[in-house]
Amino acid sequence: MNEMISVQAQDFDMATEYQALRNDNNTDHNSSDGAVVTFVGLVRDYNQGNHVSGLTLEHYPGMTEKALEDIVVSAREKWSLGKVRIIHRIGQLNLSEQIVFVGVTSKHREAAFDAAQFIMDFLKNNAPFWKKENTDIGTRWVEAEDKDKIAQKKWQR
Amino acid sequence: MIKVLFFAQLRESLGCNELAIDLASDQRFNSVTTLEQLREALAKTDENWQLSLANGKLLMAVNQTIVDGSQAVKDGDEVAFFPPVTGG
């Protein structure tokens, strides 16, 4: 198991994270993984009808890490995965800044693609983070969206 | 003692992020055995708490796991109430 979960205020570097997924001290395992899938989520300029200039991410310390670990355990039950890396930022974030990183390795691409999608779908619904946006009409808490619930449900077949 | 945490818009509307409650010795809470009963007892604080905690979408966690209102609450537990999550 190579669980690497970080909840942090500081930014992350995609190239560094990709390298860490590619090569590690576990060389035996690494040469058997033929696929690396990564996802990065950014602060978008428009949401739920208004222009957004930035946001603040609140979280539930302790439970956040536990919820993310549980999601990775569920993903590993469904697919044979190599490394899994999750980074989620907290605090004040400006437009276009990176919010979340998910990286998954596996022998073949299907498992890595599916597991990355699964992890994001569950993170959206189960990990205790809350966004408060700065918009052109003032600050507001982001409302949870039904489409995220639907996205999660498709894995329960 | 139990610890009760509130997050995001619920924390703001209550003006409270954390409570410590002694279930056994506090008259308002000494009949509380489940999470739903704890929610009801907290709602009796005043009109604002009543209104804020009436939101049917609120999620509840005991010891950092999301559970439903039938979950038992006992001394030493960490309980949390929060709105649907919006990370990612």
Residues of A in contact with B18 (CB under 8 A): none
Confidence (pLDDT) at A29:
53
Q: What is the pLDDT of residue A3?
A: 58
Check CB contact of A116 with chain B, cutoff 8 Å.
Answer: no
Residue A157 has pLDDT above 80, yes or no: no
Question: Could you give the ipTM of this predicted complex?
Answer: 0.94
Predicted pLDDT at A1: 43
Mean pLDDT value across residues A126-155: 94
Which pLDDT score is estimated for A32? 84
Separation CA A32–CA B84 (nearest Å):
39
How much of chain A exceeds pLDDT 90, in percent? 85
Query: How many separate helices (H) and strands (E) can be counted in chain A?
Result: 5, 9
B87: alpha, beta or left? (left if phi > 0; alpha if psi -120 to 50): beta
Q: Which of residues 65-104 of A touch B (CB under 8 A)?
A: 66-67, 88, 99-100
A48 pLDDT band, cuts 50/70/90, is: confident
| pLDDT exceeds cutoff 60 at A89 | yes
Name which of A93, A96, A103, A84 is nearest A14 in CA terms.
A103
CA-to-CA distance for A122 and A88, rounded, in angstroms? 14
Name every residue whose Cβ is closer than 8 Å to that of residue B11 and which is 6 or more positions away in sequence. Answer: B17, B82
pLDDT category at A28 given cuts 50, 70, 90 is low
Taking the C-alpha atoms of residue A134 and residue A57, their distance in angstroms, rounded to an integer, is 11
Chain B closest-CA separation from residue A4 CA (Å): 17
Note whether B5 contacts A127, CB cutoff 8 Å: no
Instruction: Flag if B88 and A129 touch (Cβ within 8 Å).
Output: yes
Orientation of helix A146-153 relative to helix A109-126, angle to 10°: 140
* Nearest in space to A96 (alpha carbons), one of A124, A37, A55, A135: A55
Percent of the residues in chain A that have a pLDDT greater than 70, as a whole number: 93
- What is the tens place of the pLDDT at every residue in B21-75? 999 999 999 999 999 999 999 999 999 999 999 999 999 999 999 999 999 999 9
Average pLDDT score over residue span B2-6: 98
Record: contact A130-B80, CB cut-off 8 A: no
**Contact A119/B at CB under 8 A:** no
